[in-house]
Structure 1
Amino acid sequence: MPSDPTPRFRRPAPLFPARAEEIPGAPDPQLATELGHESARALLNGVYGSTDPQVVERVLHLVESEGLDDLATLWSGSPATTLPGALWRLYVLHTWVRRNGEDVSRRFREGTHTVPGLRYLAGVAEPPDIEQVRTTMDEILRGAFTGDLPIALGRAGAVAVLCAHGTAHLADRESTHEQQQAMTRQASRLLSTGEELTAAARMAEAGTLS
């Protein structure tokens, strides 16, 4: 790490150019795993405690500037209960919310009717609108790097679980069987993501998320 007290942010991929050059073609699974863990830890450590707000904002909008595919190359194959796996799911959820705010807020509202207590854990005001849900996800992602990772992952998990329940409710109102099945599959994936983020939050709290 540089000695500069306000380190400059770097995208994950170039953090380990020497290691990356060792890969002649498709990356070796073990090496890819190591790169994923190293890049996630370096990104987290590089931002945590930074006094430069631009560094934080660049991490917040990393997907917009670098693309989700770059992170997928490093992190998407990691288990949910690892740091790169948890950060990957956090970024995917954040991207979904940013791009589909109206749809997400509708699903979120429906979910609060089933599990209203989770709304307080997620930290979203009632009734949630598009900007409130987007702002909450920005706060969660920012908090993962600058505040408390376990709390951030737990809040993200609550958002996903609420949206899962809301999606399941909305599936019953779809006009065709195919649409109902598609929404049900989405609800299942959201629930899995929420449970995975919640499990990662518990591990982060215990200091075993690495």
Structure 2
Amino acid sequence: MSPHGSSAPRFRRPAPLYASVAEAIPGEPDPAASSDLAHDSARALLDGVFHSSDAEVVERVVALAAEDGLTDLAALWSGAPATSLPGALWRLYVLHTWSQTSGDDMVRRYRAGSRTVPGLRYLSGFAEPPDVDQVHRSMDEILRGAFTGDLGLALRRAGAVAMIVAHGTAHLADEDADDDRTLQAERLLSTGEDLTAAGRHAEAGQLD
């Protein structure tokens, strides 16, 4: 899903939040067991952070996908349905990781898209026009909010960001006649729609 961006800065990978979860990802697990593990680990992560009063735990969750941590999350969650908790968290982490490693690219696409779909700007919560630091802060805030605040709202905000960036990517693709960007726009739009749908499920108490 992630578009190509500028070279990524190096992050220090955080210590695993749940060692028992990390140890339970050997080679090719049974599909049913994989589904159970995806849902159980996502719920354990969400509940563990929500009920924690330790600010360091929250920051470790925000940094969970730094470096090859995203690979670990992919093994757990990438195959889950979009409107399930692990599927929604996977899409949220992928979008957040891209924003952190390719902030300049995301800003350019966001600015191009915000002219096309101005109604989504208010839900995204981004400053207008955003700079890279503001994008990093806002995406951190969205990710924190998913674990410590209103999960449904956080997912819908992330969905709005993805859809704005998708429209911006499509606009830039038209300018450059770039087929690769057109495919990226389609994937981003799909991600935005998935996150928005997951947010609605969360608000209805149906995201599991």
Taking structure 2 as the reference length, the TM-score comes to 0.89
Question: Shift in Å at residue 26 of structure 1?
Answer: 1.6
Q: Judging changes above 3 Å, is the alpha-carbon distance between structure 1 residues 123 and 86 closer, same or farther for their aligned structure 2 residues?
A: same
After superposition, the C-alpha distances for 1:86-144 in whole angstroms (9 at most, x for unaligned) are: 00000000000000000000000011101111010000111111111111100000000
Q: Please report how far the alpha carbon of residue 84 of structure 1 lies from its aligned counterpart in structure 2 after TM superposition.
A: 0.2
For the residues of structure 2 that align with 1:157 and 1:84, how far apart are their CA atoms?
Answer: 16
Paired residue total:
194
TM-score by length of 1: 0.88
- Provide structure 2 residue ranges, at least 5 long, that are not aligned to the other structure: 1-14
Contact residue 13 and residue 74 of structure 1 kept, 8 A: no
Matches of 1:52 and 1:194, distance apart in 2: 31
Displacement of 1:199: 0.2
- The 1:166–1:192 alpha-carbon spacing in structure 2 relative to 1, beyond 3 Å, is same
Matches within 5 A, 1:28-177: 28-64=30-66, 67-174=69-176, 177=177
Structure 1 residues 165, 16: CA separation in 2 closer, same or farther (over 3 Å shift)? closer
Quick one: which amino acid aligns to residue 14 of structure 1?
A: S
CA distance in 2: counterparts of 1:105 and 1:86, whole angstroms: 23
Superposed displacement of residue 11, structure 1: 2.8
Deviations 1:151-204 (A, max 9, x none): 000000000000000000001121xx5xx1000000000000000000000000
Letter in 1 for 2:207: L
> Higher relative contact order by CA 8 Å / sep ≥ 6: 1 or 2?
2
Distance 1:65 1:114, change over 3 A: closer
1:14-62 deviation line (CA, Å, top 9, x unaligned):
2385xx39x7x52000000000000000000000032110000000000
> Partner letter of residue 64 of structure 2?
L
Alpha-carbon distance in 1 for matches of 2:108, 2:119? 17
**Once superposed, what is the RMSD of the aligned Cα atoms?**
1.7
Q: Which of structure 1's runs of 4+ aligned residues deviate more than 6 A? A: none
Q: CA separation in 2, counterparts of 1:65 and 1:105?
A: 21
Does the CA contact (< 8 Å) of 2:16 and 2:22 recur in 1? no
The CA distance in 2 between the partners of 1:190 and 1:34, in whole Å, is 27
The code of the aligned residue for 2:81 comes to: P
